[in-house]
A and B are shown apart, each in its own frame.
Chain A
């Protein structure tokens, strides 16, 4: 098997696993479909914006929960924003954790919020790690002379 075929298969298998595990959903596929020759780095650009924005929000949430008098509306607002952008890029599991986290904010449940912040960080760093690996595999395939397979809607 030549390098391109091997790398191609590796990429397809890895990509499929992310969808099967529910880490990414169809929305990510829609973004991949928007990428073309006139816009070759679109997905990476959006995802990098997502990383930066999410880390800022996670930081804000952490600081807000650390206060003497927690402003649960403020925390809820940040979680809402993170939920929105996660949904926009197809980070399904992060999106789901945000939904549950929001309930704890509404209930002003500090323990629930602290617990879910940890949960949220776990899921976020997981999807970040997976996406970075995905991009690496894509780069390897491109460097070997292959092309990124078109995404098939599920």
Chain B
């Protein structure tokens, strides 16, 4: 099984391995969270899951203006990729994408939106807002390998 494309430093003195990519996966479906978690772990990633946009923002430390400014929550800086479902109650994946792209801490982090529905206007809307990719569910192992291999440096 290939590790994610993480460059290892040639000058590292110890025998420590390069840090595995940390992925935040957001989905309101408990079944899909379990599956995506395992798909990612299978691609040698560290995974945190969140059941909705609000929890995701809390984890990333993007809820509070003051918190963001003081960089009180460093989780945001540890995350290398966010994968979010589009259709979620409360905050959609699109709205979560917007909030991430608006933040100074997280705006460079790739965000991938997934959906069970192939709706071109939805896809364009997400890509225009800065989503790295839009993928259709259900995700297969090859989809995840594509994601982690190309997006994470």
Contacts and interface: CB of A to CB of B under 8 A. Distances in A.
Interface of A: 27, 30-31, 33-34, 39, 42, 45-46, 49-50, 53, 80-81, 83-85, 87-89
Contacts of A49: 30-31, 34
Chain A CB within 10 Å — which of B28, B29, B41, B87 has the most? B29
Contacts of B28: 81
Contacts of A81: 28-29
A85 B140 contact: no
Interface string B109-153: 000000010000000000000000000011011000000000000
Interface residues of B, number: 17
B74 to A, nearest CB: 29
Given A80-B87, A88-B137, A34 B38 contact: yes
A39 B41 CA distance: 10
Given A27-B138, A34-B39, A80-B87, A85 B34 contact: no
A50 B141 CA distance: 19
A85 B32 contact: yes
Given A30-B141, A81-B29, A87-B137, 13 more contacts: A27-B140, A30-B138, A39-B38, A39-B41, A53-B30, A53-B31, A80-B87, A84-B29, A84-B137, A85-B29, A88-B29, A88-B138, A89-B31
Interface in B14-52: 28-32, 34-35, 38-39, 41-42
A80 B32 CA distance: 13
A34 B139 CA distance: 12
Contacts of B34: 45-46, 49
21 contacts: A27-B140, A30-B138, A30-B140, A39-B41, A45-B34, A46-B31, A46-B34, A49-B34, A50-B31, A53-B30, A80-B87, A81-B28, A85-B29, A87-B137, A87-B138, A88-B31, A88-B35, A88-B137, A88-B138, A89-B31, A89-B35
